[in-house]
Every structure is written in structure tokens, then in C-alpha cells.
């Protein structure tokens, strides 16, 4: 599976190799994990407010 990222500065789309895709996926998962506690807190606050 190849993802294509369009960089505004570059006209030609660039095809990522598997390693790059894996790095991006890992980074995204780490971000989600980092934000999860705050999201849960927000949901709880929203429920209490509602």
C-alpha cells in the first residue's frame, strides 16, 4: 500500500515507502496516546455538564 502525499511546495506527488509509512503511523499513534487522557477528561466533563 503506497500513500501519496501532496506537498504544496512540490508539484509532483511523492510516493512514500513502507518504512516512512510505518514511521508516520507510529507517530500518529503516539500522538493519540498522548492526547487520550485529556480527551477522556473532556468527555467526562461534557457528560457531567450535560
d(CA 38, CA 46): 12
d(CA 47, CA 49): 5
Is 20 a residue whose pLDDT tops 70?
yes
Q: Give the residue with greater pLDDT, 16 vs 31.
A: 31
Cell of residue 43, nine digits: 468527555
Q: What is the pTM of this model?
A: 0.48
Span 14-37, mean pLDDT?
A: 90
Parse the chain into domains and list their residue ranges.
18-49
Is 22 a residue whose pLDDT tops 90?
yes
- Looking at 1-50, list the stretches that DSSP marks H as alpha helix, in order from N- to C-terminal side: 18-49
Amino acid at each position: 500500500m503506497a500513500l501519496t502525499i501532496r506537498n504544496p511546495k512540490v508539484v509532483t506527488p511523492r510516493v512514500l515507502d513502507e518504512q516512512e509509512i510505518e514511521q508516520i503511523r507510529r507517530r500518529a499513534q503516539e500522538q493519540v496516546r498522548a492526547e487520550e487522557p485529556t480527551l477522556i477528561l473532556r468527555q467526562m466533563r461534557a457528560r457531567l455538564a450535560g
